[in-house]
Structure 1
């Protein structure tokens, strides 16, 4: 529709110019006849040869200077601001004698003296060319070109957006299938672990050995937590923004960190060193389950992305506004082009040993989600020497 409208506007402008040219040239003929005191003996004196070339049959004598004066006068009357050049047929020499190039531009005009051809059967006539007429047609449609360009830009953006939406829909379907499959894959072995651990706990050999009983209790408790954790993480992956209702309570910060440290040392096969520099008097108002999860996630990531002998330092810094809890490690760090995206869902930083490190890219997304729900702040940066530091700012209102 826009192209059709543009074409119609072009045809309208073209017709308008042609009518102005025709009327102006017709008036030139009338004035020459009036000067010669003769009457028009023929009709259709103005003939259009091409879009930019016209032949005017006067059928009467006329002077070169008079013709040029009348051309300028009549074109000014119809406000036709066009460059033009003309040539007069000389019957004595049987040639077109070039007249002049009339231009509104002060620059040197580009004359075309050989562009005028004879017209058989005519004696008193002149030819006139408009070399910039085609360009004038196009430039006169300036606003239509702008509207057309804007429309095409909007159309391109729209098509691109539709393509992205279709791709996103495809990825969403793949994500949903992945989540449904992983739910089953996680639940089946976890159920077996719970059944086996509960059965083992009831055995006399375990009951009579305090150390083994403690380990079995840890296995059972962590299995229940893992089951709950899987349900919550899968809900995050599904994109449900209303899946969490925080149940805040007072949590002793150092005790929780010590528990995270103990579980990490039991789990890891590496020679892990975890230093906790946190005051015993700090209590945090938070959801216990999710707070434990985010602490374990951060420590587990620090261990996971250290090649060997991980050294993790957990510090707290108290200020008037609250507490900053920092987790520093001696790992490989994160390249600057990826560090801003580590909290995005399903985003994983490209690494050389990515096949050895399992994960789905939802751990730090979950951490960021919980931090936001508590109205806290989290940041991450590379250390000066080695590794990264993740900092959590807990405002004063949540510090007990």
Structure 2
């Protein structure tokens, strides 16, 4: 079974984002581990300096072994073979922690030889100066005579706060993943509805063509009958049936062509095309349909050559003029103005029609979009003409820009390379 390219792109995108998210989580975890090690190292350095200062001015020498022992993640014991004052200990702890940039709450306790128990010292708070001491049990340690213990009760939250950037980035990636999943779900739903719509239109138009072909065949047969030709009214009514059937058939063909082009890309056959000649041919077709229409061509030169698909370009010109005529409440007057720039041509179709409001002008190229105005109920169509025009312009890499005229009407400007 052929795998849809869109599904492959969606799957690869989802795998890529999930992979990045997993890597980000692993990096965050690694960053936390590194921060934890750094905190432990800084704590060791600070406590070692405190122990050195407690030996200063005494006859005892600093032992050769490391006096600092890490009992758990947030609990340290420092062996001092020397008696010391609790107030001096707290002063040294604050000073040394400040030197190594440890700014989290801590509490300490000291061993009392006389009572053979740990005596709680103080709770030093950096966040709340009025915080009440949180008396936590400090266990005794064997083979130690003079020692003190330090606990960091908020070490975990302190480490997390130092990783704010990593967590913000991780949350942002999670949000992006959720938005991506939601967008993909929406795209798939829209794709499903679009396919249902296209299938419905194809089936509907094919069902219309069968009885319409029968009507046309029967109408042409009737129009050739002597009884019909001899009766002026019957001949007129038969002509109306044939004309309206042909118009309906043209609409159905347009719907089918649009549905076909949506399903598979149109292939353009570009060739060197004479611009004014194509416009004149389209104007002649318009005059056959609307004899009262006045169309003038304003150009600085008699010939302009462009690279275009002549068939589709003719349809563009015809559709733009046809729209200008249909949405006009008086005698249609259309000016086709061709101007040159350094490397571009501008073809402006200026009409004297009913115009269009600013809030609707950005929607006129949408499929099936029709504007509610004084002429919309009288004009037949499916809202596919300008959608087709926009599609062909995009395939040619041209621009089409609509703009309202100051004195009423609309200007559709085609911008194309020379």
Classify the TM-score, shorter chain.
Answer: 0.5 to 0.7
> Which residue of 2 is the match for residue 268 of structure 1?
none
> Which residue of 1 is the match for residue 155 of structure 2?
133
> Which residue of 2 is the match for residue 184 of structure 1?
206
Cα distance, 1:358 vs. partner? 6.1
> Which residue of 1 is the match for residue 369 of structure 2?
348
Q: Which residue of the other structure, out of 382, 385, 397, is the alignment partner of 1:363? A: 385
In structure 2, the CA distance between the partners of 1:288 and 1:201, relative to structure 1 (3 Å rule), is farther
Partners of 1:351 and 1:98 in 2: how far apart? 80
Q: Which residue of the other structure, out of 221, 240, 243, is the alignment partner of 2:265? A: 240
In structure 2, the CA distance between the partners of 1:339 and 1:317, relative to structure 1 (3 Å rule), is same
> Which residue of 2 is the match for residue 334 of structure 1?
357
> Which residue of 2 is the match for residue 174 of structure 1?
196
* 289-298 or 207-216: bigger deviation: 207-216
**In the TM superposition, what whole-angstrom CA distance separates every residue of 1:239-270 from its partner, at most 9, and x where no partner exists?**
422276789688475564354244247xxxxx
Partners of 1:323 and 1:20 in 2: how far apart? 72
Q: Which residue of the other structure, out of 280, 289, 292, is the alignment partner of 1:263? A: 289
**In the TM superposition, what whole-angstrom CA distance separates every residue of 1:76-123 from its partner, at most 9, and x where no partner exists?**
89x56445666666979x98565977x8xxxx9836462356758799
Contact 1:26 1:46 in 2 (8 A): no
Partners of 1:200 and 1:148 in 2: how far apart? 77
Q: Which residue of the other structure, out of 312, 337, 351, is the alignment partner of 1:317? A: 337
In structure 2, the CA distance between the partners of 1:191 and 1:140, relative to structure 1 (3 Å rule), is same
- SS of the aligned residue for 1:163 comes to helix
- SS of the aligned residue for 2:187 comes to helix
RMSD: 5.4
Partners of 1:39 and 1:247 in 2: how far apart? 96
Contact 2:327 2:354 in 1 (8 A): yes
Q: Which residue of the other structure, out of 224, 232, 246, is the alignment partner of 1:202? A: 224
- Tell me, yes or no, if structure 1 residue 114 matches structure 2 residue 114: no
* 215-224 or 165-174: bigger deviation: 215-224
Contact 1:54 1:128 in 2 (8 A): yes
Partners of 1:254 and 1:8 in 2: how far apart? 73
What is the number of equivalent residue pairs in this alignment? 375
Partners of 2:331 and 2:309 in 1: how far apart? 28
- SS of the aligned residue for 1:240 comes to coil
- SS of the aligned residue for 1:386 comes to coil
Contact 1:54 1:127 in 2 (8 A): yes
Q: TM-score, normalised by structure 1?
A: 0.65
- SS of the aligned residue for 1:390 comes to strand
> Which residue of 1 is the match for residue 293 of structure 2?
274
In structure 2, the CA distance between the partners of 1:109 and 1:205, relative to structure 1 (3 Å rule), is same
In structure 2, the CA distance between the partners of 1:120 and 1:147, relative to structure 1 (3 Å rule), is closer
- SS of the aligned residue for 2:293 comes to strand
> Which residue of 2 is the match for residue 156 of structure 1?
178
Contact 1:236 1:366 in 2 (8 A): no
Structure 2 segments unaligned to the other structure (5+ residues): 1-21
In structure 2, the CA distance between the partners of 1:235 and 1:87, relative to structure 1 (3 Å rule), is closer
Contact 2:138 2:149 in 1 (8 A): no
> Which residue of 1 is the match for residue 83 of structure 2?
61
Cα distance, 1:376 vs. partner? 6.2
Q: Which residue of the other structure, out of 366, 383, 387, is the alignment partner of 2:405? A: 383
Cα distance, 1:183 vs. partner? 3.0
Cα distance, 1:177 vs. partner? 1.0
* 294-303 or 28-37: bigger deviation: 28-37
Q: TM-score, normalised by structure 2?
A: 0.63
* 310-319 or 366-375: bigger deviation: 366-375
**In the TM superposition, what whole-angstrom CA distance separates every residue of 1:6-59 from its partner, at most 9, and x where no partner exists?**
34643553355346535754675577579463999xx998686984x6676758
**In the TM superposition, what whole-angstrom CA distance separates every residue of 1:122-170 from its partner, at most 9, and x where no partner exists?**
9966564547634441244356436534543552353234223312331
Partners of 1:218 and 1:284 in 2: how far apart? 39
* 379-388 or 25-34: bigger deviation: 25-34
